[in-house]
């Protein structure tokens, strides 16, 4: 096709936001454009932002679904603070997103939906196209709905299906604007609808091309942008979301331990995808059990663990609360168990689709009795794979429940992932015993304090365990006061000794300086971007991002001691900061907290860091 662009500008990175009604296919469009950018060799990070209702009233702010995508020629760590390009399919989408758009950004609107009826629904009093709201922006008023429909009118689709192709029209405009090859978009559509719905595949492909062709003719889009492939990167890559990476990390752990994977879960936003993904993997031997509730999910997993599987339960905050008692059962029976908690805003039902890091204290202490377990946190969508793998490895080798914390932002967000070679991942060696050994269920490895694991079916090792306090070594029921104190101590010490098997804490930046930024888990992207920016400005600032929370890396205090100031940044009221105060009271901790259901913005972090540095 002919390209009539007058000007192609090379840029390092660009942030695009898709916004429309929650039935408009914004998530699909986002994924499609992400994949295309990944194939074109760009680095990327994405963030879907959708309401918890499936189809909130059409045209209202509550019903706006968004997908933000940051693509770059260099390393991209976050989905971006603000968008360079906004696609708004209706006035509500425009209104909801104006504050997340850069000055001078390109705003593409579906003019067919910009009328009085929709203005009212969106809560506009005046016509936003005429009242100066959009002054200073490059606005493209495209008749997206109308042109999409006419593109497919001879295909005989019903009018609803025809209208639904409009997301592809908007995408087509983007393919033009960013010089992306339509081939990838067409392949995506083919994979999505494929042979099952050939008519829809054809319609979507046509509309995608129609949008592209339309863009060629529009005056406001004379300038197009080129984001070159990222350099200094070699190997096999793919785009991956956190929930899929978590699922696959668990599969990898089972494979490296050479045992079966069992998942007992109950659907809950934003963790459900893990259950969905693993239930598709029967061909790899996975057993999934959709339980009647959260409690049955984890208890069935404990049963599966007793029987010898790598047992997992996945959930979000409310589900973790329901699982508390059973986590204690896994603690006292000293069985391997992975609990994945994809955090969301709380308390109670809270903000199901929004981001928060407020389950840290629950993960550490939210159970009756002295109930220690390992707590780790993933920090990017792709590294969910690594930390899910490590959760499995630690659970199996240390005979302990491990809580893996991710969050809705990691779970649904995506980034490029350099593929590992599964057979080269570390081997996992659970402490199995041989048949007819002289088995004592609570005899421990003196180095790790880990008990050994005899499985039902094995000869000569019939034994009983359960939730009543165990006698040291034999595992018989015991109410002896001194035995209880000893066992409480042993369980805690066993978890602490996991510190001998995890990496030391590394800082990004110099090992000493004026300010150490401390974060944990999913805030990594924003924190590292802000810290790097400040470093670029010559500031003596470094980042320590924690993935291992209980136990913490052994060199933590040493790392802290090299900085004049420490600021702990987290999306809660200061849970990690308080945990640090408790564990290392010798340091003073400043805090930066945000509890809006939203991630940190790089700009707000930089402002905070500069304020501290100047104080």
Partner 1 sequence: MAAEIKTTQVVTKADYKSDQVVKWCAGCGDFAILSAVQSALAESQVRKEDVVFVSGIGCSSRFPYYINTYGFHGLHGRGAAIASGVKIANPKLDVWHITGDGDSMAIGGNHFIHLVRRNIDMNVILFNNKIYGLTKGQYSPTTPRGSITKTSPDGTIENPFKPGELVMGAQGTFFARVVDTEPKRMKEVFLEASKHRGTSVVEVLQNCVIFNNRIHNEITGKDVRDDHQIHLEHGKPMIFGKEKNKGLVLRASRLEVVIIGKNGITEKDILVHDVNNPDDTTHYMLVRMTLPEYPVATGVIRFCDCTGTYDAELELQIEKAKAKPEVKSLQELIEQNSFLVE
64/326 with CB nearer partner 1: 326
The 3-state DSSP class for residue 222 equals: coil
Q: CA-to-CA distance for 615 and 611, rounded, in angstroms?
A: 6
With a CB cutoff of 8 Å and minimum separation 6, the contacts of 133 are: 98
Q: Which of residues 407-426 bind partner 1 (CB under 8 A)?
A: 419-423
The only residue of 252, 355, 358, 552 in contact with partner 1, by rule CB under 8 A: 252
Helix orientation angle between 524-536 and 602-614, rounded to the nearest 10 degrees: 50
Largest CA distance in the chain: 85
The only residue of 94, 122, 275, 296 in contact with partner 1, by rule CB under 8 A: 296
**How many beta carbons lie within 10 A of that of residue 546, not counting itself?**
21
Q: Which of residues 219-238 bind partner 1 (CB under 8 A)?
A: 229-230, 233-238
Helices assigned H by DSSP within 334-369: 360-365
> Is the Cα torsion angle 550, 580, 597, 35 positive or negative in sign?
negative
> Is the Cα torsion angle 241, 242, 247, 253 positive or negative in sign?
positive
Of the candidates 572, 612, 417, 399, the residue with the CA atom closest to the CA atom of residue 491? 399
The only residue of 8, 62, 468, 573 in contact with partner 1, by rule CB under 8 A: 468
Per-residue x/- mask for partner 1, residues 325 to 364, rule CB under 8 A?
xx--x---x-------------------------------
The only residue of 255, 273, 334, 570 in contact with partner 1, by rule CB under 8 A: 255
CB of 37 to partner 1, least distance (A): 11
Binding span for partner 1 by CB under 8 A among 205-213, 302-310, 346-354, 549-557: 302-310
Beta strands in 281-324 (DSSP E): 287-290, 310-315
- Phi and psi at 141, nearest 5°, equal -95, 100
The only residue of 33, 39, 47, 214 in contact with partner 1, by rule CB under 8 A: 39
> Contact, 275 vs 303, CB < 8 A?
no
CB of 401 to partner 1, least distance (A): 14
What 101-106 contacts at long range (C-beta under 8 Å, 24+ apart), as own/partner pairs, is 101/17, 101/137, 102/15, 103/136, 103/137, 104/136, 104/137, 104/138, 105/137, 105/138, 106/137, 106/138, 106/139, 106/140, 106/177, 106/220, 106/221
Does the footprint of partner 1 cover residue 308 (CB under 8 A)?
yes
CB of 32 to partner 1, least distance (A): 12
Does the footprint of partner 1 cover residue 487 (CB under 8 A)?
no
Query: What number of CA atoms fall less than 13 Å from residue 262's CA on the CB side?
Result: 21
How does 405-442 read in b/e, with b if 16+ C-beta sit within 10 Å? bbbbbbbbbbbbbeebeeeebeebebbebeeeeebbbb
The only residue of 56, 69, 259, 541 in contact with partner 1, by rule CB under 8 A: 259
31/529 with CB nearer partner 1: 31
The only residue of 53, 127, 131, 293 in contact with partner 1, by rule CB under 8 A: 293
The encoded tokens of residue 126 equal 């005046």
144/259 with CB nearer partner 1: 259
> Contact, 125 vs 45, CB < 8 A?
no
CB of 184 to partner 1, least distance (A): 10
Does the footprint of partner 1 cover residue 269 (CB under 8 A)?
no
281/581 with CB nearer partner 1: 281
The only residue of 8, 62, 284, 573 in contact with partner 1, by rule CB under 8 A: 284
441/513 with CB nearer partner 1: 441
CB of 6 to partner 1, least distance (A): 31
The encoded tokens of residue 440 equal 């004592």
141/281 with CB nearer partner 1: 281
Q: Which of residues 42-81 bind partner 1 (CB under 8 A)?
A: none
Q: How many residues bind partner 1 (CB under 8 A)?
A: 74
DSSP bridge partners of 342: 406
The only residue of 68, 151, 299, 362 in contact with partner 1, by rule CB under 8 A: 299
Does the footprint of partner 1 cover residue 41 (CB under 8 A)?
yes
CB of 455 to partner 1, least distance (A): 6
Does the footprint of partner 1 cover residue 9 (CB under 8 A)?
no
9/236 with CB nearer partner 1: 236
CB of 72 to partner 1, least distance (A): 14
CB of 14 to partner 1, least distance (A): 20
Binding span for partner 1 by CB under 8 A among 97-105, 124-132, 295-303, 578-586: 295-303
Does the footprint of partner 1 cover residue 192 (CB under 8 A)?
no
Does the footprint of partner 1 cover residue 401 (CB under 8 A)?
no
SS (H, E, C) 105-155: EEEEEEHHHCCHHHHHHHCCCCCCCCCCCCCCCEEEEECHHHHHHHHCHHH
Q: CA-to-CA distance for 106 and 85, rounded, in angstroms?
A: 5
Question: CA angle, corner 484, sides to 483 and 487, nearest 5?
Answer: 85
Q: Which of residues 19-38 bind partner 1 (CB under 8 A)?
A: 35, 38
Binding span for partner 1 by CB under 8 A among 98-106, 260-268, 525-533, 553-561: 260-268
131/435 with CB nearer partner 1: 435
35/77 with CB nearer partner 1: 35
Q: Which of residues 443-462 bind partner 1 (CB under 8 A)?
A: 455-462
Does the footprint of partner 1 cover residue 431 (CB under 8 A)?
no
CB of 423 to partner 1, least distance (A): 7
The only residue of 186, 467, 501, 540 in contact with partner 1, by rule CB under 8 A: 467
Question: CA angle, corner 176, sides to 175 and 180, nearest 5?
Answer: 45
- Phi and psi at 449, nearest 5°, equal 65, 20
With a CB cutoff of 8 Å and minimum separation 6, the contacts of 493 are: 449
The only residue of 8, 473, 477, 573 in contact with partner 1, by rule CB under 8 A: 477
Does the footprint of partner 1 cover residue 302 (CB under 8 A)?
yes
The secondary element (H helix, E strand) that includes residue 568 is strand 563-570
CB of 260 to partner 1, least distance (A): 7
CB of 601 to partner 1, least distance (A): 30
Does the footprint of partner 1 cover residue 207 (CB under 8 A)?
no
């Amino acid at each position: 096709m002919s390209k009539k662009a007058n000007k192609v500008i090379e840029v390092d990175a660009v942030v695009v936001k898709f916004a429309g009604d929650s039935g408009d296919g914004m998530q699909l469009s986002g994924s499609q454009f992400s994949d295309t950018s990944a194939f074109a060799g760009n680095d990327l990070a994405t963030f879907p932002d959708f309401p918890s209702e499936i189809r909130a009233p059409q045209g209202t702010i509550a019903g706006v679904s968004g997908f933000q995508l940051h693509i770059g020629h260099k390393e991209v760590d976050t989905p971006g603070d603000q968008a360079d390009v906004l696609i708004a399919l209706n006035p509500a989408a425009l209104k909801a997103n104006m504050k997340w758009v850069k000055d001078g950004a390109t705003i593409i609107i579906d003019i067919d939906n910009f009328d009085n009826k929709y203005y009212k629904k969106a809560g506009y009093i005046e016509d936003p196209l005429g009242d100066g709201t959009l002054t200073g922006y490059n606005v493209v008023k495209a008749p997206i709905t109308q042109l999409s429909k006419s593109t497919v009118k001879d295909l005989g689709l019903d009018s609803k299906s025809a209208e639904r192709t409009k997301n592809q029209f908007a995408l087509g405009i983007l393919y033009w604007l960013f010089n992306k090859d339509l081939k990838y978009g067409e392949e995506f559509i083919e994979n999505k609808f494929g042979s099952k719905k050939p008519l829809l595949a054809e319609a979507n492909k046509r509309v995608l091309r129609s949008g592209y062709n339309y863009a060629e003719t529009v005056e406001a889009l004379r300038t197009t942008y080129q984001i070159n492939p990222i350099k200094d990167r070699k190997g096999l890559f793919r785009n991956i979301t956190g929930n899929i990476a978590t699922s696959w990390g668990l599969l990898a752990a089972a494979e490296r331990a050479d045992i079966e994977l069992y998942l007992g879960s109950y659907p809950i936003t934003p963790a459900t995808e893990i259950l969905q993904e693993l239930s598709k993997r029967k061909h790899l031997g996975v057993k999934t059990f959709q339980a009647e509730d959260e409690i049955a999910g984890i208890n069935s997993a404990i049963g599966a663990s007793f029987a010898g599987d790598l047992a997992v339960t996945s959930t979000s905050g409310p589900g973790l609360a329901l699982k508390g008692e059973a986590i204690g059962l896994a603690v006292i029976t000293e069985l391997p168990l992975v609990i994945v908690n994809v955090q969301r805003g709380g308390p109670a039902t809270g903000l199901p689709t929004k981001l928060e890091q407020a389950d840290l204290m629950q993960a550490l202490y939210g159970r009756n009795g002295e109930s220690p377990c390992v707590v780790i946190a993933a920090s990017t969508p792709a590294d969910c794979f690594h930390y899910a793998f490590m959760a499995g490895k630690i659970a199996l080798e240390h005979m302990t429940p491990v809580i893996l914390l991710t969050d809705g932002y990691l779970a649904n967000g995506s980034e490029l992932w350099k593929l590992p070679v599964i057979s080269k991942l570390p081997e996992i060696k659970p402490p199995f015993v041989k048949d007819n050994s002289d088995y004592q269920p609570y005899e421990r490895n003196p180095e790790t304090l880990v008990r050994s694991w005899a499985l039902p079916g094995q000869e000569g090792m019939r034994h009983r365990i359960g939730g009543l306090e165990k006698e040291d070594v034999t595992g018989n029921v015991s109410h002896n006061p001194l035995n209880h104190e000893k066992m409480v101590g042993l369980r805690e010490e066993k978890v602490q000794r996991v510190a001998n098997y995890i990496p030391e804490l590394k800082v990004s930046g110099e090992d000493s300086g004026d300010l150490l930024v401390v974060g944990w888990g999913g805030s990594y992207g924003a924190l590292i971007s802000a810290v790097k920016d400040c470093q670029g400005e010559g500031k003596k600032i470094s980042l320590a991002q924690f993935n291992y929370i209980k136990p913490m890396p052994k060199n933590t205090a040493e790392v802290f001691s090299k900085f004049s100031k420490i600021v702990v940044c987290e999306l809660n009221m200061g849970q990690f900061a308080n945990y640090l105060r408790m564990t290392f009271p010798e340091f003073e901790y400043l805090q930066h907290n945000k509890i809006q259901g939203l991630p940190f913005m790089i700009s707000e972090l930089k402002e905070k860091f500069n304020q501290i540095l100047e104080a």
